[in-house]
Amino acid sequence: MRAVRMAAFGPPSTATIEDLPTPEPDEGEVRVAMRAAGVNYPDLLVMTGAYQHKPPLPFTPGKELAGEVEAVGPGVTRLAVGDRVMVQVEYGAFAEQVIATEGQCFKIPDGMSFVDAAAMGLVYQTGWFALFDRARMTEGDVVLVLGATGGVGLATIQIAKAMGAGSVLAGVSTMSKAQAARDAGADHIIDLSGENLRDSLRDQVMAVTDGYGADICIDPLGGDPFDAAMRALAWCGRMVVVGFAAGRIPVIKANYLLVKNIEVSGLQWSDYRDRTPERMIDAQAEIFRLYADGKLTPHVMDRIPLARVADAMAVIEERRVTGKVVLEL
């Protein structure tokens, strides 16, 4: 089988395509023939060695894929050969054939393409757990989403709207991408590109909420947008830290938390996958249900052949992505 391989941590341009032996599933495992694989910002961090979990060298990157089960190991009871599944793994998805545990596989609804399935795992699960587990969203909440045109951002906007948010505010740093956030359901656009972001973000949020602020902020950026968004939270607002794509890990001033009873929490997606797989199964079932009901639609901006993995990663690294990039065989 062909697989993307990293002999050492480094830029995606150093990745190679190699022929490897066909893997065989062990107890509780299945082998999946990959048809499409989602590309995510954490994949870039893993390849460059900047991620918190470093795989042993050499390795195949990739955290999610969609395909067909082609072999099952002993003890597998929920899946059978021929089942169409979306798969979440720590690494290894960028290959023609992938080994996964039964618990890492989610059956794809009838009518869903492999490309859509590959785009509806990590980012939608991140948005789901950020909104409902960490931020405890309820109907009517005002939700501010930073990095709103990235994979997590667009997914979070769609989920918030589908589940009854009162208003969704999309923070975008490139106004040319703002229409994608509107198409996802955003009620208002918050411009993150202007000068004096510390004041301008709060002023914009207050203007569109009649001085109320945001009940929830989902932040995959960190840096200056995080600092500014803290000042735009309403009383008892909840900030959820998802990542630091802006490059700087912010320092929290505890007096902000005290004065307005604000909460700040973090979300590590893979912990839900590894520690509470049953909760991830339930969450993914709801995400697929909303897709079947026409309430969620993944935005796939490009489909790129597996052999051009470096081109796909460049879209992520250069922050040109809107929604998702998917690798195909």
Domains contained in the chain, CATH given: 2-120+298-328 (3.90.180.10), 123-269 (3.40.50.720)
Question: Encoding tokens for residue 303?
Answer: 């489909």
Q: Which range is least confidently modeled, 61-70, 213-222, 274-283, 299-308?
A: 274-283
| pLDDT value for 44 | 95
How does pLDDT run across 146-200, given as a tens digit for each residue? 999 999 999 999 999 999 999 999 999 989 999 999 999 999 999 999 889 999 9
How does pLDDT run across 54-79, given as a tens digit for each residue? 999 999 999 999 999 999 999 999 99
| pLDDT value for 53 | 86
How does pLDDT run across 7-64, given as a tens digit for each residue? 999 999 999 999 999 999 999 999 999 999 999 999 999 999 999 889 999 999 999 9
Which helix (H) or strand (E) element contains residue 202? helix 197-208
Indicate if the pLDDT at residue 112 is higher than 90: yes
Picking from 52, 33, 21, 155, the residue whose alpha carbon sits closest to that of residue 93 is 33
Helix (H, G, I), strand (E, B) or coil at 208: helix
Tell me, what DSSP letter sits at residue 173? S
**Amino acid identity at 39:** V
Picking from 88, 73, 219, 209, the residue whose alpha carbon sits closest to that of residue 156 is 219
How does pLDDT run across 215-260, given as a tens digit for each residue? 999 999 999 999 999 999 999 999 999 988 888 899 998 888 998 9
Indicate if the pLDDT at residue 292 is higher than 90: yes
Indicate if the pLDDT at residue 137 is higher than 90: yes
**Amino acid identity at 248:** R
Q: Which range is least confidently modeled, 233-242, 265-274, 300-309?
A: 265-274
CA distances from 268 to 78, 126, 288 (A): 27, 8, 21
**Amino acid identity at 291:** Y
**Amino acid identity at 269:** W
Indicate if the pLDDT at residue 136 is higher than 90: yes
